[in-house]
Amino acid sequence: MITGMYSAATGMNAQQHKLDTISNNLANVDTTGFKKSRNEFADLFYVYAKQTGSPESDISGSEGPVYTGLGVREVRTTRLYTQGNIEKTDRPLDVAINGQGFFRVTLDNGGPAYTRDGAFHEKNGVLYTSAGHALDGVNVDGVASVYDLIVTQDGIVTDSQGVNYGQIAIYDFTNPEGLKSIGDNLFLESDQSGEVNALNLGLVNTTLAQGFLEKSNVNAVQEMVNMISAQRAYELNSKSITTADNMLQTVNGLKR
């Protein structure tokens, strides 16, 4: 009974973590380029009263094991980099990545970071993300109007007069799931992600779309279903604790 209480407690803790992840996904349903996350769980150790093939057997002669599981734990939170819906905006500084890869921006400390957020804004010739981080590789200083800019599918930035302002480079990783999230739609390279590689947009199935934005890949309906499922699982684990507690009260009352 005590084991059951502890197992149910680990289940409640796991479902709370799952609910936290679902809540974050739903909160970012309208965040440009956001990638949803999911929790992955593993069962804990088992206590064996009888191992498989042991000489002891029950009255029916069964040779099956007798064991009790000790609950569940969260092993990782995985970010899913599936493509989000592409939404037309007709704004010249909105650029969507259709395919794999990331824009590279410069952090305040001078280091690189990576993002799928293509809602850029211009200031003093520099293109900035929504969170205010400068895009690498492009400087549009001297352009008559940002509405005169043309971004090709390969990322080359020109104006109607043919003046070249650089190229928006796209970068990718061997294992994007290993990237470290730091907020503001930004990711950092890590040991798990592997080294960064610049993509040749003419040789891969990745293109840029000017006047479009990639929306979040969160499916709000599916997340609501997951939330209900997590809530029900949480309630069932809490009832397991209540039931175990009632059984202990019954045992304690036998001496009276």
Over residues 25-34, the pLDDT tens digits come to 999 999 999 9
Q: Is 92 exposed, middle or buried (0-12, 13-18, 19+ CB in 10 A)?
A: middle
pLDDT of residue 54: 58
Average of pLDDT values for 230-241? 93
pLDDT interval class at 92 (50, 70, 90): very high
Check whether residue 179 and residue 105 sit in a common domain.
yes
pLDDT interval class at 61 (50, 70, 90): low
Check whether residue 28 and residue 117 sit in a common domain.
no
Average of pLDDT values for 38-59? 76
CB 155 within 8 A of CB 141: no
Residue 7 belongs to what domain range?
Answer: 2-80+236-244
Average of pLDDT values for 138-156? 92
* CA angle in degrees (0–180, nearest 5) for 239-39-24: 95
pLDDT of residue 201: 86
Q: C-alpha dihedral over 78, 85, 129, 187, to 10 degrees?
A: 10
Check whether residue 95 and residue 205 sit in a common domain.
yes
AA identity, residue 36: K
Query: Residue 47's beta-bridge partner residues?
Result: 68
Check whether residue 74 and residue 120 sit in a common domain.
no
CA atoms within 13 A of residue 60's CA, in its CB half-sphere: 3
Instruction: Name the pTM for this structure.
Output: 0.85
Report the alpha-carbon distance of residue 56 to residue 61 in Å, rounded.
Answer: 9
Average of pLDDT values for 185-200? 93
Residues in the chain: 256
**Both tokens of residue 81?**
């980099």
Report the alpha-carbon distance of residue 77 to residue 14 in Å, rounded.
Answer: 12
Q: Which residue has the tokens 């939404």?
A: 87
Indicate whether 169 pLDDT > 60. Answer: yes
Report the alpha-carbon distance of residue 224 to residue 230 in Å, rounded.
Answer: 10
Q: Which of 151, 84, 89, 83 lies closest to 119 in space, CA to CA?
A: 89
Count of domains forming the chain: 2
In a domain, 163, yes or no: yes
Q: Which of 46, 48, 21 lies closest to 35 in space, CA to CA?
A: 21
* pLDDT tens sequence across 199-229: 988 778 899 999 999 999 999 999 999 999 9
Check whether residue 163 and residue 106 sit in a common domain.
yes
CA atoms within 13 A of residue 227's CA, in its CB half-sphere: 14
pLDDT of residue 256: 65
pLDDT of residue 252: 81
pLDDT of residue 253: 84
pLDDT of residue 211: 96
pLDDT of residue 160: 87
Average of pLDDT values for 54-78? 75
Coil, strand or helix at 237: helix
Greater pLDDT, 1 or 109:
109
In a domain, 11, yes or no: yes
Report the alpha-carbon distance of residue 243 to residue 56 in Å, rounded.
Answer: 31
Check whether residue 119 and residue 50 sit in a common domain.
no
Coil, strand or helix at 94: strand
Check whether residue 66 and residue 106 sit in a common domain.
no
Average of pLDDT values for 186-202? 91
Coil, strand or helix at 46: strand
Report the alpha-carbon distance of residue 65 to residue 2 in Å, rounded.
Answer: 21
pLDDT interval class at 57 (50, 70, 90): low
Check whether residue 49 and residue 118 sit in a common domain.
no
Longest dimension (CA), the chain: 96
Check whether residue 71 and residue 128 sit in a common domain.
no
pLDDT interval class at 122 (50, 70, 90): very high
Compute the mean pLDDT over every residue in the chain, rounded to the nearest whole number: 90
